A and B are shown apart, each in its own frame.
Chain A
Amino acid sequence: MSGSRSGSLDGSGLSARIHHFTNESVLECYQCGKCSAGCPLARDMDFPPSYLLRMLQLGMPVLDEQVLASLSIWLCLTCEACVARCPKEVGLPRIMDFLRQESLKLGKVNPKAKEILAFHRSFLDSVRRTGRLHEVGLIARYKMRTLHLLQDVLAAPKMMARGKLRLMPPRGAGKSDVRKIFHRTSAADPTVTQPLSSSDPQRCREEQS
Chain B
Amino acid sequence: MARIGVFVCHCGENIASTVDTAEVVCASAQIPGVVLSIDYKYMCSDPGQNLIREAIGDRHLTGVVVAACSPRMHEPTFRRACADAGLNPYRCEMANIREHCSWVHDKSSDATAKAVDLVRMRVEKVKRNCSLFPIKVPVTKSALVIGGGIAGIQASLDIANAGHKVILVERDPSIGGHMAQLSETFPTLDCSQCILTPRMVEVAQNPNITLYTYSEVESLTGFIGNFKVRIRKRARGVDEKLCTGCGVCTQKCTSRKIPSEFNTGLGHRNAMYVPFPQAVPNKPVIDRSRCTYYLKGKCKLCEKICPAKAVRLDQEDQIVEADVGAVVVATGYDVKGADFFPEYGYGKFPDVITGLQFERLASASGPTLGKIKRPSDGKTPETVVFIACAGSRDPAKGIAYCSKICCMYTAKHAMLYRHKVHEGKAYVFYMDIRAGGKMYEEFVRRAIEEDEVRYVRGRVSRVYERNGILVVNGVDTLLGARPLEIEADLVVLASAMVAQKDAESLAQKLRISYDRDRFLSEAHPKLRPVEMNTAGIFVAGACQAPKDIPETVAQASGAASKVIGLFSRDELSREPVVARVGRNAAPLFSSCMGCFLCESACPYQAIEREEIRSRDGSLLKTVARVNEGVCQGCGTCVALCRSKSIDLDGFSHEQVFAELLAV
Contacts and interface: CB of A to CB of B under 8 A. Distances in A.
A and B directly contacting (CB within 8 A):
yes
Interface of A: 30-39, 42-43, 47-51, 54, 81, 85-89
A43 B483 contact: yes
A51 B481 contact: yes
A48 B483 contact: yes
Given A34-B459, A36-B458, A88-B396, A48 B480 contact: yes
Nearest to B472: A37
B460 interface: yes
Interface in B382-409: 389, 393-398
B21 to A, nearest CB: 50
Nearest to B473: A37
Nearest to B484: A37
B483 A32 contact: no
A33 B343 contact: no
Nearest to B477: A33
B482 interface: yes
B35 interface: no
27 contacts: A31-B431, A31-B477, A32-B458, A32-B477, A33-B476, A33-B477, A34-B458, A36-B481, A37-B484, A38-B462, A39-B483, A42-B475, A42-B481, A48-B475, A48-B481, A50-B475, A50-B477, A50-B481, A51-B477, A81-B461, A85-B343, A85-B462, A87-B393, A87-B396, A87-B397, A88-B395, A88-B396
A38 to B, nearest CB: 3
A34 B398 contact: no
Contacts of A33: 457-459, 475-477, 481
Contacts of B389: 32
A87 B459 CA distance: 10
Interface in B138-194: none
A51 B478 CA distance: 10
Interface in B479-537: 480-484
Contacts, number: 80
Contacts of B484: 37
Given A33-B459, A34-B461, A38-B473, A86 B396 contact: yes
A78 B444 CA distance: 39
Interchain residue pairs A-B with the least CB separation, the first 7: A38-B461, A37-B461, A37-B475, A33-B458, A32-B459, A87-B394, A48-B481
Interface in B443-474: 457-462, 473-474
A89 B473 contact: no
B459 to A, nearest CB: 4
Nearest to A35: B461
A64 to B, nearest CB: 18
Contacts of B480: 47-48, 51
> Mostly helix, strand, loop or mixed at chain A's interface?
helix
Contacts of A89: 395-396
Interface of B: 343, 389, 393-398, 431, 457-462, 473-477, 480-484
Nearest to A45: B481
Given A37-B461, A49-B481, A89-B395, A30 B473 contact: no
Nearest to B392: A87
A37 B458 contact: yes
B510 to A, nearest CB: 34
B601 to A, nearest CB: 34
B157 to A, nearest CB: 41
Contact of B431 (A32, A43, A47): A32
B513 to A, nearest CB: 27
A40 B172 CA distance: 48
Contacts of B473: 37-38
Contacts of B395: 87-89
Nearest to A53: B481
A36 B480 CA distance: 10
Contacts of B461: 34-35, 37-38, 81, 85
Nearest to A52: B481
A37 B459 contact: yes
Nearest to A39: B483
A188 B459 CA distance: 40
Nearest to A87: B394
A37 B474 contact: yes
Contact of A34 (B457, B460, B476, B482): B460
A43 to B, nearest CB: 6
A37 B483 contact: yes
A34 B341 CA distance: 13
Nearest to A41: B483
B212 to A, nearest CB: 42
A155 B462 CA distance: 36
Contacts of B343: 38, 85
A34 B456 CA distance: 12
Contacts of A35: 461
Nearest to A82: B461
A126 B547 CA distance: 62
Contacts of A32: 389, 431, 458-459, 477
Nearest to A32: B459
A67 to B, nearest CB: 14
A115 to B, nearest CB: 24
A30 to B, nearest CB: 7
A33 B462 CA distance: 12
A108 B377 CA distance: 55
Given A34-B460, A37-B459, A50-B477, A87 B483 contact: no
